Amino acid sequence: MSGSELAALLQLCLLPGIGNGPRLRELLRRHGSAEAALNAPAAELGEEAALARGSTPILGRVRASMNALRRLDVQVLHESDPRYPGRLMHLEDPPPFLFARGRLELLARPAVAVVGSRNSTEYGESVARMLAGGLANAGVVVVSGLARGIDTCAHVAALEGGTIAVLASGIDVAYPRRNAALYERIARVGLVLSEAPPGTPAFPHLFPRRNRLIAALALGVVVVEAAVKSGA
């Protein structure tokens, strides 16, 4: 993907009413490229999006995003890319593209999600470590959400065998901050994925969307420990 095409793709994703979802997919399919879609008439793009197109705040975020992608050696996977995880295409609304940092080959291996409470018990943490470590030793990739508690234990136990962290934030935003070192370790020996543009904070409404990706990437989901109303 050329730099200008990537910049256009990022701008479209940041425009109000478009984002990294069905509207973006529709525009890309209709126009054949992000650059062409970005120049679509206001009636087609949406009045609010057309007004924001090319604005100083939007272009500033695009520049910052491009810099972050280069600095972190992030790969951008469009859904037509053979490396894009085919399992996501079973979703009702698969992201048109993903940001990925790390070992893309892990996407081709069987995976199981191990998730659970942030406010985990000592027993729950020991079970998460046992399950994730056993899966990793058997050649199964462990997918989780980098949250504190059960997610953290699962990632740490599976680091050597292969683990994927799916973020609710942008690919350059380690959340929670206490897991910044773990985020970097996974980026080196595992894989970090996000559908959100770089710089996106971990807004509450993004966690359910993150969770759907975790579930779709995995052959099964193990909820180790969670309250009745937990997101897990």
pLDDT tens-digit profile of 192-205?
A: 999 999 999 999 99
Question: Which pLDDT tens digit goes with each residue over 76-133?
Answer: 999 989 999 999 999 999 999 999 999 999 999 999 999 999 999 999 999 999 999 9
Write b or e for each residue in 44-61: b if 16 or more Cβ atoms lie within 10 A of its Cβ, otherwise e: ebbeebbebbeeeebeeb
Look at residues 189, 193, 129, 131 and name the one whose alpha carbon lies nearest to residue 159: 189
pTM recorded for the entire structure: 0.93
Q: How many helices (H) and strands (E) does the chain have?
A: 10, 7
Section 13-24 average pLDDT? 93
Section 144-148 average pLDDT? 96
Biggest CA pair distance of the chain: 58
Q: What is the DSSP string of 54-88?
A: T-HHHHHHHHHHHHHHHHTT-EEEETTSTTS-GGG
| Bridge partners, 140 (sequence order) | none
**Please, which pLDDT band fits residue 229 given cuts at 50, 70 and 90?**
confident
How many percent of the chain have pLDDT more than 70? 100
**Please, which pLDDT band fits residue 228 given cuts at 50, 70 and 90?**
confident
Q: Which helix (H) or strand (E) holds 53?
A: none
